[in-house]
Amino acid sequence: MNGGVNWTALAVFGFFFVLVTVMGFRAARWRKAAAGEQSLDEWGLGGRSFGTWITWFLLGGDLYTAYTFVAVPAAIYATGAAGFFAVPYTILVYPLIFTFLPRLWSVSHRHGYVTTSDFVRGRFGSKGLSLAVAVTGILATMPYIALQLVGIQAVLDVMGVGGGSSTNWLVKDLPLLVAFAVLAAYTYSSGLRAPALIAFVKDCLIYLVIAVAIIYIPIKLGGFDDIFAKAGHALSQTNPATKKPKGEVVSSAPNHWAYGTLALGSALALFMYPHSITATLSSRSRNVIRRNTTILPLYSLMLGLLALLGFMAIAAGIKVDNGQLAIPQLFSQMFPDWFAGVAFAAIGIGALVPAAIMSIAASNLFTRNIYRDFLRPNATPEQEAKVSKVVSLLVKVGALVFVLGMDKTVAINFQLLGGIWILQTFPALVGGLFTRWFHRWALLAGWAVGMVYGTVAAYHVSVPGQAHFGGSNAPIPGLGEIGYIGFTAFVLNVLVTVVLTVVLRAVKAPAGIDETRPGDYSADAGDPGVQEELPTAAGTGSGAGTD
Amino acid sequence: MSAEPEQGPTERPANPEGGSADTANAAVTPARIAIALCLLAPFVAILWVGSYARTGPTLIGIPFFYWYQMLWVPLSAVLTTVAYRLVQREKARSGRAAQRAAGDGVR
């Protein structure tokens, strides 16, 4: 788009890319307990051995993805205040997971659960419900991986490599293909250890870039007063398509419900995503998780500063058709070339870490809850690990096809739907962690209602230039306010679940076998039966897991 | 639209049939109320959007809307830390009460 290739930036980017590639392959031998052991616990959960700091980096690398870095400021750049919902969203996440993740950790260690679906099957004795949770997880993760590619594409584009202007598709997409081939190779060989190690580099780079950007750019632009004045002026201009202002600097009354429900709904959904759970279960003890909820907010602070870059992009007069390019373009315009390279490397590596964890998480779900539950009940730990490794490759190829074969908006639409969908697994998972009262069939029905409502409602959201999937907000039925579709669907889901549970319990529908005991939910490392679990332990207890 | 009433932050083991739980563990203690309040406060503050949706007072040129929400990041981190300490203390206490040695393998 800028004609030439930015060689200095590209060289710095290349240096960091080679560095993390070497680290990714060497990670296979990092903190390895028993040589030669091949199981899903080893490959897919890093041997469940990570302490507070590694877990912190891993979760940070996992939740604050390249897409986040590009999309959050891009949303501010486009609409102003509404895009800032990402900050309250991440504030609410931590008190929330403080209450339920330690319980999930404990019960998972007692029973060797690798995925959330493992737990749901064990708790409710329902393969159907477990399958619903697994399929939802995989469906929601796939477009997320695809969007990480969009993040890499954006920085490559701004550096003048590949991108839209080139006519030859191979030249255009080659850098992306190389990046993903390398990623796939070290994920295959090192499993979860690779992203855990690379996350160190990623975070150091990100923090450095943000610290510099938040001081250096405002000085160049004449301070925050000027930035917000210019941004306010630009956002109050009328959008020719909608005949309304483009955005606002401070959320106005009609948008409060949307802002709040989007923050809350997203916070509820975040730890339903398979990749967040994978990073959580890889930690060594229950306290590692609790301690992490007290230090993870550091990332939220960074995200808030990053979001402000969106206003700086407006004030700096960045004009891009594709909002995703606003921040890379701002970096390239403001920073000297070599530091722009560092910033682009931060975004690029920020895409590799979550893409690796997400593909591991999705393949764990497939292996445990589709392959083992339905195709091959007697799979050994070695076979499980092998299947997971292969599936992790397929998942990445699928994401690649997604991005290269289809329009980018398809991936973004699916990501939007994915957030709505994944939230519908909340009642089964979190409900199940605290009570056995909900009936498995009621949970399944609630899930189905939430999925259908959310999908249909999102389909009907139209904005000028886009007839369907125009956004994630719609009127809340019976309330007259605009709110997040995912949250409305979630409320419907819970209502259906509660009503049907009352009915099903009244007619004494069979409740399924619960293989967990109350004590399992508060067990900690060192307690009997917590450490020496094998992944096969889940299926062997009392013949549970039959529907 | 408060968060999720079914999720008490206590360590009470889930009861399989949803009936009465183990009374020794289910007791409402001042510490547990404090834990719940620490975890609930961010939800009240953040979801009440009308309380902070304004421009002034600005901080180094940043509108109130933004710096107030960012202020809640460290605030909620402190509250979660307090909750964590209280949980640890509760656990040590109930551990001493039980015959098993307190906090084995916790630290």
CB contact under 8 A, A430 and B49: no
pLDDT the model gives residue A168: 60
pLDDT the model gives residue B102: 39
A44 in any annotated domain: no
In total, the C-beta contacts within 8 angstroms joining chain A to chain B are 167
Going by C-alpha positions, the residue among A422, A406, A403, A410 that lies closest to residue A365 is: A422
Task: Name every residue whose Cβ is closer than 8 Å to that of residue A304 and which is 6 or more positions away in sequence.
Answer: A84, A87, B66, B69, B70, B73
Residues on chain B touching A431 (C-beta within 8 angstroms): 6
CB contact under 8 A, B73 and A91: yes
Phi, psi of A220 (to 5 degrees): -65, -30
CB contact under 8 A, A95 and B38: yes
Q: Does A100 touch chain B (CB under 8 A)?
A: yes
Alpha-carbon gap, residue A115 to A127, rounded angstroms: 14
| Residues within 8 A of B (CB atoms), A 70-99 only | 81, 84, 87-88, 90-92, 94-96, 98-99
| Residues within 8 A of A (CB atoms), B 13-52 only | 13-18, 22, 38-40, 42-43, 46-50
| Residues within 8 A of B (CB atoms), A 102-141 only | 103
Q: pLDDT digit string (tens) for B76-90?
A: 999 989 998 998 888
A354 in any annotated domain: yes
A14 in any annotated domain: no
Low-confidence ranges of chain A (pLDDT < 50): 1-2, 531-547
- Tell me how close the Cα of B64 comes to any Cα of chain A, in angstroms: 9
DSSP 8-state code for residue B14: P
**Res B6 pLDDT > 70:** no
Average pLDDT for chain B: 72
Q: Does B95 touch chain A (CB under 8 A)?
A: no
Mutation for A interface: B11, B15, B49, most A CBs within 10 A? B49
Quote the domain boundaries for residue A444: 50-529
| Residues within 8 A of B (CB atoms), A 211-250 only | 223-228, 249-250
Residue A242, domain CATH: 1.20.1730.10
CB contact under 8 A, B61 and A294: no
- In terms of CA atoms, which chain A residue is nearest residue B12? A522
Distance of CA A57 to the CA centre of its chain: 15
Mutation for A interface: B1, B4, B54, most A CBs within 10 A? B4
Alpha-carbon gap, residue A339 to A335, rounded angstroms: 6
Going by C-alpha positions, the residue among A540, A544, A532, A543 that lies closest to residue A110 is: A532
Q: pLDDT digit string (tens) for B14-27?
A: 444 333 344 445 57
Alpha-carbon gap, residue A229 to A249, rounded angstroms: 9
Q: Is there a contact between B9 and B28 (Cβ–Cβ < 8 Å)?
A: no
- In terms of CA atoms, which chain A residue is nearest residue B9? A99
Query: Which is more confident, A456 or B97?
Result: A456
Q: Is there a contact between A115 and A281 (Cβ–Cβ < 8 Å)?
A: no
A377 in any annotated domain: yes
Residues on chain B touching A434 (C-beta within 8 angstroms): 6-8, 14
A112 in any annotated domain: yes
Going by C-alpha positions, the residue among A208, A203, A206 that lies closest to residue A61 is: A203
Q: Is there a contact between A118 and A130 (Cβ–Cβ < 8 Å)?
A: yes
CB contact under 8 A, A84 and B77: no
A11 in any annotated domain: no
Across the interface, which of B42, B60, B66 has its CB nearest the CB of A92?
A: B42
- Tell me how close the Cα of B1 comes to any Cα of chain A, in angstroms: 9
CB contact under 8 A, B66 and A308: yes
A467 in any annotated domain: yes
- Tell me how close the Cα of A137 comes to any Cα of chain B, in angstroms: 22
Across the interface, which of B13, B65, B70 has its CB nearest the CB of A521?
A: B13
Question: Hey, what long-range contacts does A373-380 have (CB within 8 A, 24 or more apart)?
Answer: A373/A121, A373/A127, A373/A130, A373/A131, A373/A545, A374/A127, A374/A131, A377/A539, A380/A536
Q: Does B57 touch chain A (CB under 8 A)?
A: no
- Tell me how close the Cα of B26 comes to any Cα of chain A, in angstroms: 13
Task: Name every residue whose Cβ is closer than 8 Å to that of residue A142 and which is 6 or more positions away in sequence.
Answer: A362, A395, A398, A399, A402, A414, A418
Beta strands in A206-287 (DSSP E): 238-239, 244-245
Residues on chain A touching B106 (C-beta within 8 angstroms): 285, 287, 524, 526
pLDDT the model gives residue A229: 85
A144 in any annotated domain: yes
DSSP H helical ranges for A406-542 = 408-423, 426, 432-434, 440-459, 485-506, 537-540
Alpha-carbon gap, residue B72 to A344, rounded angstroms: 29
Going by C-alpha positions, the residue among A520, A99, A433 that lies closest to residue A443 is: A433
Statement: the pTM of the whole predicted model exceeds 0.80: yes
Side-chain-facing half-sphere of A332: CA atoms under 13 Å:
26
Across the interface, which of B14, B43, B74 has its CB nearest the CB of A521?
A: B14
CB contact under 8 A, A260 and B47: yes
User: Considering its fold, how many domains does chain A have in total?
Assistant: 1
Beta strands in A197-271 (DSSP E): 238-239, 244-245
Residues on chain B touching A226 (C-beta within 8 angstroms): 61
Across the interface, which of A251, A431, A525 has its CB nearest the CB of B49?
A: A251
- In terms of CA atoms, which chain A residue is nearest residue B60? A224
| Type of residue at A244 | K
Going by C-alpha positions, the residue among A376, A400, A399 that lies closest to residue A387 is: A376
pLDDT the model gives residue A423: 93
pLDDT the model gives residue B14: 42
Residues on chain A touching B40 (C-beta within 8 angstroms): 95
